[in-house]
Amino acid sequence: MGKVKAKSGPLARRPDNSAFKQQRLPALSTMLTANTVLPFFYFLSLISLVLGVWLLLTVQSTQENVLQSGDVFFYYGLRNFHQNLRRYMISRDDGQMVGRKNRLKTPSSYCNPFIKGQNGLPIAPCGAAANSIFNDSFILYYHGSSASLARVPLLRQGLTWYTDKNIKFRNPSTGNMTLAQVFEGTTKPPYWQKPVYERDLLDPNNNGFINDDLIVWMREAAFPNFKKLYGVLHRANTPFTHGLPAGNYSIDISYNFPVQYFHGRKEVVLATLSWFGGQNHFLPVAYLVTSGLILLLAVVLTVVWWKFGKDGRNMEE
Amino acid sequence: HLRANDRPFNLSYRYANNAIKTSKYNIFTFLPLNLFEQFRRLANAYFLFLFCLQLIPQVSSLSWFTTAVPLILVLGITAVKDANDDINRHRTDKQVNNRRVDVLVDGQNEKWMNVQVGDIIKLENNQFVTADLLLLSSSEPLNLVYVETAELDGSVSVCVRVCVCACDDSVYLSSGEVRCEPPNNRLDKFKGTLTLDQQVSSLDNDKVLLRGCTLRNTEWCFGLVVFGGPDTKLMQNSGKTVFKRTSIDHLMNVLVLCIFGFLATMCTILAIGNAIWEVKEGSVFTAFLPRENGIDASLSSFLTFWSYVIVLNTVVPISLYVSVEIIRLGNSFYIDWDRKMYYPKSDTPAQARTTTLNEELGQIKYIFSDKTGTLTQNIMTFNRCSINGKAYGDFCFLFSLQKTDKVDFSWNQLADPKFVFHDHSLLETVKDGNPEAQTFFRLLALCHTVMPEEKTEGELVYQAQSPDEGALVTAARNFGFVFRSRTPETITIMENGRKVVYELVAVLDFNNVRKRMSVIVRSPDGRITLFCKGADTIIYERLHPSCSKLMEVTTKHLNEYAGDGLRTLVLAYKDLDESYLGEWRQRHHEAVTSIEDREERLDEVYEEIEKDMMLLGATAVEDKLQDGVPQTIEQLAKADIKIWVLTGDKQETAENIGYSCNMLREEMKDIFIVAANTAEGVREELQIFNPPGFLIYGKEKISTACMCQTVICCRVTPLQKAQVVQLVKKYKQAMTLAIGDGANDVSMIKAAHIGVGISGQEGMQAVLSSDFSFAQFRYLQRLLLVHGRWSYLRMCKFLQYFFYKNFTFTFVHFWYAFFCGFSAQTVYDEWFITSYNLVYTALPVLGLSLFDQDVNDRWSSRHPQLYSPGQLNLYFNKKIFVRCMMHSCYSSLILFFIPWAAIHDTVRDDGKDIADYQSFALLAQTCLLVVVSIQLCLDTHYWTAVNQFFVWGSLAAYFAVTFTMYSNGMFFIFTSAFPFVGTARNSLNQPNVWLTIFLASLLCILPVVAFRFILIQLRPTINDKVRHKVRKEALPAPPPRRPPPRRISTRRSGYAFSHAQGYGDLVTSKRFLRPLKSRPALFIQKDSVLAQNEPQHYRTISEEPEGSMSP
């Protein structure tokens, strides 16, 4: 046991008198007492109440002003689409998407069964996740006072996390070749209409693997009901400089994505934001409810303490 | 069958040579063998199985490393420990094998490993015995050999072995033949024959020298190697230690099995869910995610079952067993390190010899204690005496607080300086030449069986069979009647500086029935006197009627002494005349030489002469209790621990000790003395002291006895001690602890759940077979009430928390299954799963279980009631486990659904995605870790800096590791292993993420706080009460030491003899009265029936080692 000590003398084997070895380390001894617990509960109840009210007010105010001012975000939503199935989630090749050329031609086996196309060529981007990309397109029209249809301008870029756009997704280095040449020898995923290098021919920074729609889709949703960012209102011109003006709108949907394959629904969401994220009624309500519950608990605790523990008789042995 | 000095002949039998191998592995076999050993443990095998499952791609729901990393870590730690142990074994093997010894045949020095069976070897003093030897001859007279058997049975006493024959030198070169039994592990048996020149002689255990002994006090001896190396009895005996397991171990195993069942249930539910989902939803979703070839819904659900086995494997945590070992080890170190269990006088710290039983120390219900050497010091002091109706030495009791001056014995050059007496008047009386006082001490100096040893002139050491006798002779010595030397016929004493040689006519030895001992001596002036000492009742029957008045006074004194717990003897004498003596000696001789009824006839003869004696007085000897024994027993009793004393003493002595250690009190009116045989065959006399006064006879004796606070079993043999322990274990299912110091306690120490050895006394046998050892009985209080309680508390807290954190962790997966189509998708990042148990939560929980104290040691010992929850298994049991599961279930619901509700329909503050899987995983795992850490803080009662550091450090480490693993660099290097790149940066800067974490923590923790608070208010446990008190009061002052109240009692004490047959025979036999060199006295107690049946108490004179007790 222990180290052999070079001590000698009559008390050679006496253990050290250190606080650690004698288990006398200075310490704070904690106990749940009324003095700490009750104020703590009331305090937390108050905190929750304040937070809840604040969040609720924020949500309410942003909702009222939804169409008047601020950024407006255009989402598409899917219901009952399971992006979170295990086999679906792993059916992708991050190595390919980050632009590794060897992975372009020999995708990871995880992409099964979308590794090779029917012509035997490797699929880029491979895997079930990329293959099932949402491919409806939307055009939003504003029925202004002039009875003419004004197309609402949507920014279709800047929809992704910075890290995704710049780090996680990259095109293979092109050198002096075109993107199409780099992707030569690969084939498009079977459900796609166009190959990956033709996703946005106008803007090379939105084409190939770094196409915003692709990146948004590839950030797989945690739950079967989800919404994904489609575009942001471009507020450069009137009448949209202060958001969407009140009035009638219509949406032109080019319908490509088959709903019957997942017994689900598609939806379109227009939303504005608050400081704590999207239109989220859950947090404010939850905080208000929690505040009430804590208060209730606090009162119960107080009563119990008052009846039993106040004079310390319950602590008598 | 072997021949001496005939190597070719012996080699043909392929006996094992003398090389030994205790190591288990060599370099090449280490890995496979060690892994094999480790995988025999259920938990390891389970995780290996999981690992194999993960290698099947269709099933693997987690990457291989989630199981492999912990498994390799655990296996690695264990392997390193095993390797280290084995290297040490290799080293000692090598050292032992390379020891040198003289081999006779070729007259050279050989290494031990090259010694062959049949060789004759020569051993010298202080050498280790090379192999099992047949003794041929030795340097000592009578061909005796003295050996120390420390390595064999742990006793450092010296034993005697007898050589086979008075072989002369010629034998060594001739070839005798030995036939003996095959190698076995019986240390106390050896059978064989030696054929020498057509003469056959039989061999027994006495003639064999076993490996592991050391030669002592013997210049040289020759021996024939009978068994070598692995065949020796030492090796045959080793390696069969029985592992004791604690009740928590058993509970843990049961729980782990339950968890397996629970795991299977969960997986089945999820597999069924998967089948339903596959039929209803999955079949259409195949457009996006085609099924693999040949997999339909039913097969898919079967695969899902196994996938979920992998995902949910964390309910059986791999680090559980390793952590438990670490905690136990740590708590054992605390015992080794404890200064308050260190005995400075003998420089003995407490020692946890078994590191796996700590928490059991907190659950002890029954303590079985030896008496001699455990409760008592086995030191007798001559305290008082009554001479001719006058009592001496009283006031040391009346003024026990301020000690009176010690009597100065410096006038007597032969006095023992250690002897202390407080009554000057006695010395004066003796010096004045009071005849009664002189006769009194003359008797003490003559009537005994003590052996003197005079190393240098004037420096006397007495070897007494019983310490009582030693004390009496020493008292006589200091009062001027120095017992100097003895021969079979004479006793030399110095009477006040004058040398007087008495002729020893006869010794009327002590035995159990007689309860007295007499000697008949003839003084130089021809007076013949019979001196007798013995138990009061016995002597009183044999006194001359003229003593009746003196008897009354003496009886009064005796009662007083007995009331003070002293052991008393009554002394008497009788003058004899020559003619009567001659006649009596004739009859005595006849009796001695008679073949039939020798014992009875001797008794008759003795009876005849021991009558009409004159009363001299009485002595009172204090059987000194160890320090603090009564207080310790009182404390342990308050802790609701039942104390049984198992002693070989007779009833009066045991009862007396019971009173003096506070076990029995005067108010215990109903004392039942039961003499019966239990149905189980334990023949014992149970003395049952039962405060409620309630007793059922018969077969229910054990259950009755168990209801008593105190039970004293007297006249029990070592075997019966073990049987009593086993009976209680069997019928009460309670934790038992046995404490003892001697070889006769070994069986009981081994039988009990926990064995404690008193170390620092002669004989290490009890210590060697014990689980814990320390030097003083009083340390038992600290061991149980402080260390044991803390260990138990910590272990229970650990288990409770450990199960909580793992269940909570795992159940979240279960809830997520309902959202991910039962596809065995995990909630957390795989790296989080890998390091959750190993990194993020390992140290805080270790800190909790190594440092936590509910109240500190002083309060623990001041409130022994704190101990009782452990006895009732209150801190961790199946109920607590179920409650812990419910709690986990609640927590996991919160921990899944709050993040789900908060995040599933929301976006970041810049409109971008946050409801994605990776952000959700990060949120869920952060919530989990925060909640689990706060829960730990709630469970921690004793916040040391280390705890703080562990908790905050682990949380900090979590964020540091998370940010590192989600960094660009890691992604570029190991792209597919770290797909979470950027998640931490993008979601942990969101207010709603932190709001969610806060909300989840509130909802998880506050109900627990409220629940506990209400429990404290409504039904406070004893712990709460004491803790409440601690907060209100300052540290308790150590309780003042009260002198034990003087008991007024009419109870007569036992008397001062041991219960073995006396040594009268030996004293008068010539054989053992050789001039002694400086070595302990040597007596062989022959294997008489009596010696085997009687417990042996006083080990001052060494006994033959009892082989069956050897480890």
Given a cut of 60, whether residue B1089 has pLDDT beyond it is no
Q: Whole-angstrom distance between the N-terminal and C-terminal Cα of chain B?
A: 28
Cα R_g (chain B), whole angstroms? 37
Among the partner residues A22, A221, A279, nearest to B916 by beta-carbon distance = A221
User: Sorting pLDDT into bands at 50, 70 and 90, what band is B1065?
Assistant: low
Same-domain status, B464 and B513: yes
Burial class (CB in 10 A: 0-12, 13-18, 19+), B455: exposed
Query: How confident is the model over A150-189, as pLDDT tens digits?
Result: 888 888 888 999 999 988 998 888 788 888 888 888 888 9
Residue B155 in contact with residue B149, Cβ under 8 Å? yes
* CB spacing of B342 vs A26 below 8 angstroms: no
Residue A104 in contact with residue A183, Cβ under 8 Å? yes
Within the 91-120 window of chain B, which residues sit less than 8 Å (CB to CB) from chain A? Answer: none
Among the partner residues A85, A216, A280, nearest to B823 by beta-carbon distance = A85
pLDDT at A292: 95
The Cα–Cα gap between B795 and B673 comes to 42
A135 in a domain, yes or no? Answer: yes
Query: How confident is the model over A62-92, as pLDDT tens digits?
Result: 665 555 556 788 899 999 898 999 889 888 8
Q: Name the active-site residue from B119, B153, B231, B370.
A: B370
Among the partner residues A108, A282, A304, nearest to B1018 by beta-carbon distance = A304
Examine the fold and report which residue of B624, B646, B666 is the final residue of a domain before the chain moves on.
Answer: B624
What global pTM score does this model have?
0.81
Residue A265, chain B, CB below 8 Å: the answer is: no
* CB spacing of B1017 vs A162 below 8 angstroms: no
pLDDT at A178: 85
Given a cut of 80, whether residue B245 has pLDDT beyond it is no
pLDDT at B650: 62
Greater confidence (B1070 vs A288) lies with A288
Query: How confident is the model over A132-145, as pLDDT tens digits?
Result: 999 888 998 888 76
Same-domain status, B653 and B552: no
Residue A166, chain B, CB below 8 Å: the answer is: no
A212 in a domain, yes or no? Answer: yes
Among the partner residues A168, A225, A308, nearest to B971 by beta-carbon distance = A168
Average pLDDT over residues B749-769: 77
Residue B585 assigned ligand-binding role: no
Q: Residue B349: what residue type?
A: P
Q: Please provide the average confidence, as pLDDT, over all residues in chain A.
A: 85
Residue A261, chain B, CB below 8 Å: the answer is: yes
Same-domain status, B650 and B762: yes
Q: Whole-angstrom distance between the N-terminal and C-terminal Cα of chain A?
A: 41
The Cα–Cα gap between B1109 and B1096 comes to 13
Say how many CA atoms lie within 13 Å of B407 toward its Cβ: 25
B1068 in a domain, yes or no? Answer: no
CATH of the domain at B524: 3.40.1110.10
Q: Which residue of B has its CA nearest to A44?
A: B1002
In Å, how far are B51, B647, B706, B804, B844 from B309, measured between CA atoms?
A: 11, 56, 47, 19, 28
Within the 53-82 window of chain B, which residues sit less than 8 Å (CB to CB) from chain A? Answer: 61
B822 in a domain, yes or no? Answer: no
Q: What is the extent of the structural domain holding B518?
A: 378-395+404-624
Query: How confident is the model over B335-369, as pLDDT tens digits?
Result: 999 988 888 888 888 888 887 888 889 999 889 88
Buried b (16+ CB within 10 A) or exposed e, B645-667: bbbbbbbbbbbbbbbbbbbbeee
pLDDT at B1060: 41
User: Sorting pLDDT into bands at 50, 70 and 90, what band is B59?
Assistant: confident
- Scanning B348-486, the segments in alpha helix (DSSP H) are 395-398, 424-431, 435-446, 467-478
CATH of the domain at B652: 3.40.50.1000
* CB spacing of B916 vs A17 below 8 angstroms: no
Q: DSSP class of residue B1039?
A: P
Average pLDDT over residues A33-60: 91
CB contacts, 8 Å: A294 with chain B: 1002, 1006
Bridge pairing between strands B735-740 and B754-758 = parallel
- Percentage of chain B modeled with pLDDT above 90: 16
The Cα–Cα gap between B59 and B53 comes to 7
Q: Is the peptide bond before A125 cis (omega within 30 degrees of 0)?
A: yes
Same-domain status, B586 and B707: no
A55 in a domain, yes or no? Answer: no
φ and ψ at A154, to 5 degrees?
A: -115, 135
Bridge pairing between strands A154-155 and B158-162 = unpaired
Q: Tell me the β-bridge partners of A141.
A: A151, A250
Same-domain status, B585 and B631: no
Within the 211-240 window of chain A, which residues sit less than 8 Å (CB to CB) from chain B? Answer: 216, 219-229, 232
CB contacts, 8 Å: A172 with chain B: none
Residue B703 CB neighbour total at 10 angstroms: 12
Residues 6+ apart with CB under 8 A from B466: B1056, B1057, B1058, B1097, B1098, B1100
pLDDT at B706: 61
Buried b (16+ CB within 10 A) or exposed e, B80-101: eebeeebeeebeebeebbeeeb
User: Sorting pLDDT into bands at 50, 70 and 90, what band is B555?
Assistant: confident
A192 in a domain, yes or no? Answer: yes
DSSP letters, B834-882, are: HHIIIIITHHHHHHHHHH--SS-HHHHHH-GGGGHHHHTT-SSSHHHHH
Residue of A24, A31, A167, A214 to mutate, interface with B, max B Cβ within 10 Å? A31
Given a cut of 80, whether residue B418 has pLDDT beyond it is no
Strand, coil or helix: A168: helix
pLDDT at B187: 63
B549 in a domain, yes or no? Answer: yes
Interface A-B, measured as beta-carbon pairs within 8 A, has a size of: 307
Name the helix (H) or strand (E) containing B319: helix B319-337
Q: Which residue of A has its CA nearest to B854?
A: A29
A24 in a domain, yes or no? Answer: no
A179 in a domain, yes or no? Answer: yes
B794 in a domain, yes or no? Answer: no
- Select from A222, A244, A248, A221 the least CA-distant residue to A231: A244
pLDDT at B1109: 36
Examine the fold and report which residue of B238, B264, B293 is the final residue of a domain before the chain moves on.
Answer: B238
Number of domains forming the structure of chain B? 3
Residues 6+ apart with CB under 8 A from A302: A38
Among the partner residues B285, B347, B1012, nearest to A262 by beta-carbon distance = B285
Within the 977-1006 window of chain B, which residues sit less than 8 Å (CB to CB) from chain A? Answer: 979, 981-982, 985-986, 990-992, 995-996, 999, 1002-1003, 1006
Burial class (CB in 10 A: 0-12, 13-18, 19+), B579: exposed
Residue of B995, B1026, B1032 to mutate, interface with A, max A Cβ within 10 Å? B995
CB contacts, 8 Å: B813 with chain A: none
Within the 35-54 window of chain A, which residues sit less than 8 Å (CB to CB) from chain B? Answer: 37, 40-41, 44, 48, 51
Q: Is B423 a catalytic residue?
A: no
Residue B567 assigned ligand-binding role: yes
Within its chain, how far is the Cα of B911 from the centroid? 69
Query: How confident is the model over B800-831, as pLDDT tens digits?
Result: 999 999 999 999 999 999 999 898 899 999 88
Among the partner residues A75, A85, A226, nearest to B289 by beta-carbon distance = A85
Given a cut of 80, whether residue B1015 has pLDDT beyond it is yes
Given a cut of 50, whether residue B1048 has pLDDT beyond it is no
Structure token digits, residue B620: 């009172």
* CB spacing of B336 vs A225 below 8 angstroms: no
Same-domain status, B367 and B409: no
Chain B nearest C-alpha distance from A109 (Å): 11
Given a cut of 80, whether residue A215 has pLDDT beyond it is yes
ipTM of the complex: 0.94
Average pLDDT over residues B293-312: 86
Among the partner residues B906, B947, B1031, nearest to A278 by beta-carbon distance = B906
Residue at token pair 């000897």: B621
Q: Residue B840: what residue type?
A: Y
Residue B1033, chain A, CB below 8 Å: the answer is: no
Greater confidence (B799 vs A248) lies with B799
Residue B207 assigned ligand-binding role: no
Greater confidence (B7 vs B386) lies with B386
Structure token digits, residue B106: 């070729």
Lowest mean pLDDT among B430-444, B716-730, B772-786, B851-865: B716-730
Structure token digits, residue B872: 């009732």
Residue B581 in contact with residue B516, Cβ under 8 Å? no
- Select from B239, B237, B225 the least CA-distant residue to B15: B225
Q: DSSP class of residue A274?
A: B
A116-124 contact pairs (CB < 8 A, 24+): A116/A187, A117/A187, A117/A188, A117/A190, A118/A190, A119/A187, A121/A185, A121/A186, A121/A187, A122/A185, A122/A186, A122/A187, A123/A186, A123/A187, A123/A188, A123/A189, A123/A190, A124/A96, A124/A183, A124/A186, A124/A187, A124/A188, A124/A196
Same-domain status, B616 and B659: no
pLDDT at B1071: 44
Residue B622 assigned ligand-binding role: no
Residue B82 assigned ligand-binding role: no
pLDDT at B678: 39
Same-domain status, B548 and B573: yes
Query: How confident is the model over B499-548, as pLDDT tens digits?
Result: 888 888 888 877 767 778 888 888 888 888 889 888 887 888 888 888 88
- Select from B411, B254, B302, B328 the least CA-distant residue to B53: B302
Chain A nearest C-alpha distance from B194 (Å): 46
Q: What is the extent of the structural domain holding A165?
A: 65-282
B764 in a domain, yes or no? Answer: yes
Greater confidence (B763 vs B265) lies with B265
Residue B868, chain A, CB below 8 Å: the answer is: no
- Select from B1096, B1081, B1043, B1105 the least CA-distant residue to B455: B1081
* CB spacing of A223 vs B915 below 8 angstroms: yes
- Select from B951, B934, B941, B955 the least CA-distant residue to B1006: B934
User: Sorting pLDDT into bands at 50, 70 and 90, what band is B703?
Assistant: low
Cα B170–Cα B174–Cα B179 angle in degrees, nearest 5: 125
User: Sorting pLDDT into bands at 50, 70 and 90, what band is B715?
Assistant: low
CB contacts, 8 Å: A115 with chain B: none
Residue A286, chain B, CB below 8 Å: the answer is: yes
Q: DSSP class of residue B489?
A: S
Query: How confident is the model over B181-198, as pLDDT tens digits?
Result: 777 766 666 777 777 766
DSSP letters, B333-379, are: HHHHH-GGG-BTTTTB--EES-SS-GGGGGGEEEEEE-STTTTEEEE
* CB spacing of B1028 vs A31 below 8 angstroms: yes
Same-domain status, B661 and B733: yes
The Cα–Cα gap between B287 and B284 comes to 6
φ and ψ at B222, to 5 degrees?
A: -110, 145
Q: Which residue of B has its CA nearest to A232?
A: B911
Given a cut of 60, whether residue A3 has pLDDT beyond it is no
- Select from B1099, B1091, B1105 the least CA-distant residue to B511: B1091
Lowest mean pLDDT among B235-239, B472-476, B921-925: B235-239
User: Sorting pLDDT into bands at 50, 70 and 90, what band is B935?
Assistant: very high
The Cα–Cα gap between B523 and B805 comes to 86
In Å, how far are A59, A70, A232, A280, A283 from A273, measured between CA atoms?
A: 9, 8, 12, 9, 14
Burial class (CB in 10 A: 0-12, 13-18, 19+), B524: exposed
User: Sorting pLDDT into bands at 50, 70 and 90, what band is A285?
Assistant: very high
Same-domain status, B550 and B408: yes
CATH of the domain at B203: 2.70.150.10
* CB spacing of B1010 vs A22 below 8 angstroms: no
Average pLDDT over residues B419-436: 78
Residue B98 assigned ligand-binding role: no
Structure token digits, residue B761: 């006394």
CB contacts, 8 Å: B305 with chain A: none
Given a cut of 70, whether residue B552 has pLDDT beyond it is yes
Q: In what order do the strands lie in the sheet with B192-196?
A: B2-3, B177-180, B192-196, B199-203
The Cα–Cα gap between A310 and A300 comes to 14
Examine the fold and report which residue of B177, B212, B238 is the final residue of a domain before the chain moves on.
Answer: B238
Q: Which residue of B has its CA nearest to A113?
A: B290
Number of domains forming the structure of chain A? 1
DSSP letters, B238-259, are: TT-PPPP--HHHHHHHHHHHHH
Residue B665, chain A, CB below 8 Å: the answer is: no
Same-domain status, B431 and B529: yes
In Å, how far are A280, B44, B402 from A284, measured between CA atoms?
A: 8, 48, 78
Residue B285 assigned ligand-binding role: no
Q: Please provide the average confidence, as pLDDT, over all residues in chain B.
A: 77
The Cα–Cα gap between B83 and B575 comes to 76
The Cα–Cα gap between B1005 and B998 comes to 11
* CB spacing of B281 vs A262 below 8 angstroms: yes
Same-domain status, B608 and B657: no
The Cα–Cα gap between B517 and B606 comes to 10
CB contacts, 8 Å: A55 with chain B: 995
